[in-house]
A and B are shown apart, each in its own frame.
Chain A
Amino acid sequence: MAKGEKNSIAREKRYPWLKIPPPPVRALQVYAIDPSTGNFQRNYMTVHVPWEPLEPGPTGRKIGVVDYDGVNKCYYPPIDLDDRLVLANDGLNPSESDPRFHQQMVYAIASRTIAMFETALGREIHWRRADRFGGAAEYDDALRKKDDIEILKLYPHAMQEANAYYSPEAHGILFGYFTANKTGQGRNLPGQRVFTCLSQDIIAHEVTHAVIDGIRTYFTEPTNPDVLAFHEGFADLAALFAHFSHKEALTEAIRLTGGRLYQTTLTPVAPQARSGFETAADAEIGAEVARTNPLVQLAQQFGEARGAERGLRSALGSKPNSDDIHKNVDEPHFRGSILVAAVFDAYFSTYMRRAEPLFRVYRAGGGRMDDDDVPAPLAELLAGCAAETAKFFFRLCARAIDYCPPVDLKFGDFLRALITVAKDLDPADIDGIRDALMEGFRQRGIYAESALFFSEGALAWQRVPPGILPPIEGLIFGNPNGLSSEEKDKDGDVLRAWATRYREALGLDAKLPVTVPSFHPVFRTSDDGRLQVEMVVEIIQSRQAAFDPCVPAAGGFPFRGGVTLIVEAPEIKLDEKGRKIPQPPVVRFAIAKTNVGHESKQREDAQRDFALSQGLAAGDTTNPSHFQANFALLHEEF
């Protein structure tokens, strides 16, 4: 430390007002979509991520970039984002040929994705914890484990492969780089290097996997075709909704689609002189080519480099139909895309409904709606509407994770969670969001098995009626900055004891031991601006079920039941004498997958069939990780 610096620190101690407070955000330059789009659609942008002191890498508190190339077996020099020259320039300028910019972009988008989740969920997230297989027996050893992820590692150039995936084993995300196809390479140079770490979509998608894996313990255990599809679909949702936070791209897309954001192509800048010649082949100059709408496409460069004519996946894949849900049951991306389409159907419907008054005002002023080009001020207003709605929808989706059962998740469960949260977030529902959601899911054949009717009332989870479940005495909610270690230990003990005592009332087995793999205090601002304090708790019971009940020696699979509790923080009440009496926390929702009775039997049979059909009966079935998803497998691309 230089002498002058020491002096200034000493002086700041004496005169604290000299100290400059850390800025709230850090500005960093990134590619808006990926390098292939040039500056055409405002392709450079600056993202603002929450400020944190950074070491070279960048290495922060929750994420660290480690640029080790596993093929060439070398490190690339880490960027120091706290360097003053770098700070003054909002980070390095976008460049494909400087690995340090790659590190910057990976860090920036990962940070933004984490921030999106933390805002939506109302709490800090953490990464995968190792105690998922252990119970009380291993508890004393649970101080720190090899599989615990403290800092999520991002490897921007980990491998030479058209792939990127979240690997719990590597404690992070591996991004690959590859050579574009020699022909049909889209806007890439034939055979040029393509970096998956420079695609916003790919980064956001992978980080979302890591986030969900940290929130939910058994969402990586494929007990039915929907589980992994949900992981994939949700990761795509997060990546797509992030598009709408990029205001310039959004405004331009609105201008070139006439406000109909869901269109797959943008109207060419130069209207083609002869009608009926709209394809690229008929265009005489570049400006006549109708470009694809980047807002509803995922991973454009990646898709084109691999010879597809468009991005890897899109928000609205095919026309709504209820057949797709029965097809390709084994392919999580395909199945996930149905979920994405259902949510985006609802999103675009809501946006169009909200934009309708603006269009009407425009028409009333003499504007013609058959023109694609809308005037800038209108585009501006529409962009605001689209961005606001996207934010709302993402919050809805993220919070719905908390309202899902802890094991054996199905799309129908997610729908029920969505409706419950939507009722919570926006009770009046002027824009018909719940209706749009139900319609979007219904059109794609996604139903909730556990609900009797396809109506709002039946779909929303029912609140636990008073008197069924006793209050959880002694639960500490802490404050928004998190729980201390002692508080965590105490809460764990309280919850385990409570759940063990009332497991039968929760719809669980009266004899099996209970584990509480996770509990998260949540702090949200409600409609009326008051702070809402809740706790989301996972309660799990596991037992071994045999592949063949007659031949137990042939091995088995873990069969789990569980309950997600939403516990409400006590509201202080007045007694008869007007004294304020604190109330014990009560359970608002208990969202269960039961492991007793007929329903459990059906679930077990279905899981057995699914495990056998997936080839899970082979191999070392005594190793718990055998039944966990491997995201390298899932990610046929990313």
Chain B
Amino acid sequence: MAARKKAAAKSRTKRAARKSTKAKVKTRAKTKAKTKARTKAKAKAKAKPKPKARSKAATKTPGTRRSPATQNGAATTPATKGGQGGSVGGKLGIRVRMYRIGFGDFFLLTVPGKSGPAHILIDCGVHAANIGSMDDCVKDMASAEVTNKKLALVILTHYHADHMSGFASNYDDFAQFEVGAVWITNRLDPKDGKASKFMAQITSVAHSLQLQLGARNDPDGEEAQRKVHNALGVELGARGGANGGGNAKALKLLQEGFKNKPPVYYYQGGDTPTLPAELEGKITADILAPSPKESGGEYSASDNKKEQYLAAAADAGGVPNHKSVRPFEKTWPASAADYPARVFHEFDSGIAERSRKPNNDGAAKLQAMLENMQPDVLAAAADKLDGTLNNQSLVVLFTCQGKKLLFVGDAQWGNWAYWLYGKAVAGKDPGITARAKEILGSIDFYKVGHHGSTNATPIPAVGALNEHAAAMCSTATGAYGSPAKKTEVPRTALMDALETKTKDRMVRSDWVPAGKTKPDAQAKAELADLPSGFTTPGDLYIDYNL
């Protein structure tokens, strides 16, 4: 009973914290809305009531919501007639669809293929802040108007539930899909002994961390636990229930579960990918990252504080502060020698050997073990684990009809460093390479890395970003970090920087309602007033049309 009460109290405080974040965001949104209002007052007045009315209708009659053709009047969307025969997107027939599922990535890129629009699915997962719209989103994507269960290419950027849980939870739906090819980060190549062993170790570490962190009852521990669950594909609270089988099951789908058993390729930065026939000659793809496996741990850094949108230098960066207190007022001096030697004997490294000759290192072993069981060490380990998996992200640059679209998965510092600098960088920015500058300066679309987190999308990358680019960020507030520590996701400072850089041509997945889930507080102002090129039926997803 007491435990339950406490849980309630906890969620109460959490809610309060979230409220305060929202309040902050709101004020920011308000000021922004004001400036916008001056320029686009007319358009706003027209557009405002529409999404509201639609979202209501949608919750009442969910069956009709799924057809964008019937919902988007020709007036709001230039050309949304989907299906294999028609054309989608803008003039060039390119469309990026960002589904809202909570905290996770689910992107459908549509380009003109050899036989009409061809679809590329980049990740499909949700973990924290799951709003339960995955089923609806997958159904929408599978519908005859959208993909008709045909995907030219499926990409899994990295092994995290918030990028792959949909493949597990909707396994049976996906099993009916015909797929041209599958690209996966080469860290998940089962034929690569070293890589598989490393992944096995990582999941094993994640598993033991999960168990140890589960014992804790503090916000830092909970967040660390969420990171670990993300790596395993386990849902916090309703464990496994929603995800039904975890990351392993999702990976199995990608590797062998699609209807037509498409070829699966494992890539790393610098590889020349094999495009499926449908896309050959229609688009090109460059794999920019992850860093080659041979580079060892060189690019494993999960962050570089100097290049992040952090204000305070003393920031904890996700790792809780070491709040060591001394339990006693007085000093109680003692050493291992004060204890009888036999109490350490079981830890002696000698007893595991056949000779059973004690090495007299039992006390040292015992001390090391207890020190490693400390909560802060666990949280740091969870953080490291999270960064390691994110850095495995497959970063793909698509070029189609002269337009460049960059999808970076959840790349963190090490991953970026590989293709921004061509070397590991810690500390000050040595200046990004000409090639990186050229790429970033010319892209037309950027998928914001790691849900707008502070440790992805480094400052130099935003600096070099094309002013005409549009950006999409799939995120949800209140799932990770805290504004007090300047680690909140999405990071307000980064979001602001991106909006400034792209001249407000950045949208967030949580601006649209999804079924019963209301849009984020900020969205009321934003959704009514989407930048040019972006459209939405008012529910479930936002499109970017080129």
- Residues of A with Cβ closer than 8 Å to B? 55-57, 59, 64, 66-78, 97-99, 141, 143-146, 148-151, 153, 155, 157-163, 165, 167, 169-171, 174, 177, 179, 193, 195, 303, 306-314, 317-318, 330, 333-334, 337, 548, 551, 554-555, 612-615, 617-620, 623, 626, 630, 632-637
Contacts and interface: CB of A to CB of B under 8 A. Distances in A.
Contacts of A160: 323-325, 374-375
Interface in B287-341: 323-330, 332-336, 338-340
B14 interface: no
A318 B4 CA distance: 12
User: Which of B239, B346, B366: most chain A Cβ within 10 A?
Assistant: B346
A234 to B, nearest CB: 17
A318 B5 CA distance: 13
B1 A78 contact: no
B215 interface: yes
Nearest to B322: A71
B239 A193 contact: no
B327 A57 contact: no
B59 interface: no
Given A72-B326, A159-B373, A618-B246, 5 more contacts: A78-B338, A144-B356, A554-B252, A619-B203, A633-B213
Interface in B231-256: 232-234, 238-241, 244-249, 252, 256
Contact of A308 (B2, B210, B215, B346): B2
Given A160-B324, A160-B325, A149 B346 contact: yes
A330 B241 CA distance: 10
Contacts of B201: 620
A626 B323 CA distance: 31
A275 to B, nearest CB: 27
A161 B213 CA distance: 11
A78 B327 contact: no
Contact of A618 (B216, B248, B340, B369): B248
Contact of B367 (A68, A99, A161, A309): A68
Contacts, number: 219
A59 B342 CA distance: 9
A632 B342 contact: no
Given A617-B249, A618-B233, A313 B2 contact: yes
Contact of B351 (A74, A146, A159, A554): A146
A308 B370 CA distance: 29
Contacts of B480: none
B6 A56 contact: no
Contacts of B346: 146, 148-151, 171
A626 to B, nearest CB: 7
Contacts of B210: 615, 633
A97 B330 contact: yes
A161 B370 contact: no
Given A70-B370, A159-B373, A630 B211 contact: yes
Interface string B193-213: 000000011011011101111
Contacts of B249: 612, 617
17 contacts: A66-B366, A72-B324, A78-B334, A78-B338, A157-B327, A160-B374, A160-B375, A161-B216, A171-B346, A310-B2, A317-B1, A334-B3, A615-B207, A615-B229, A618-B206, A619-B203, A623-B204
Nearest to A191: B325
B246 to A, nearest CB: 5
User: Which of A174, A634, A637: most chain B Cβ within 10 A?
Assistant: A637
B91 to A, nearest CB: 45
A145 B248 CA distance: 34
Shortest 6 CB-CB contacts between residues of A and residues of B: A630-B211, A70-B370, A615-B234, A633-B211, A633-B214, A613-B240
Interface of B: 1-6, 9, 200-201, 203-204, 206-208, 210-218, 229, 232-234, 238-241, 244-249, 252, 256, 323-330, 332-336, 338-340, 342-347, 351-352, 354, 356, 366-367, 369-371, 373-375
B6 A159 contact: no
A169 B370 CA distance: 10
Contacts of A313: 1-3
B217 A162 contact: yes
Nearest to A143: B356
Given A177-B327, A632-B215, A307 B373 contact: no
Nearest to B205: A619
Contact of B370 (A165, A174, A306): A174
Contacts of A165: 215
A56 B339 contact: yes
Given A144-B351, A318-B1, A333-B3, A614 B240 contact: yes
Contacts of B336: 68, 75
User: Which of B233, B338, B344, B356: most chain A Cβ within 10 A?
Assistant: B338
A250 B404 CA distance: 78
Given A160-B325, A637-B3, A626 B207 contact: yes
Contact of B215 (A72, A78, A633): A633
B347 to A, nearest CB: 7
Nearest to B256: A551
B3 A636 contact: yes
A78 B203 CA distance: 40
B217 A70 contact: no
Given A77-B332, A318-B1, A636 B367 contact: no
B125 to A, nearest CB: 14
Contacts of A64: 339-340, 342-343
Contact of B328 (A59, A75, A97): A97
Contact of A78 (B9, B216, B239, B339): B339
A71 B204 contact: no
B373 A179 contact: no
Nearest to A316: B1
B328 to A, nearest CB: 6
Nearest to B329: A97
Contacts of B233: 615, 618
A71 B245 CA distance: 37
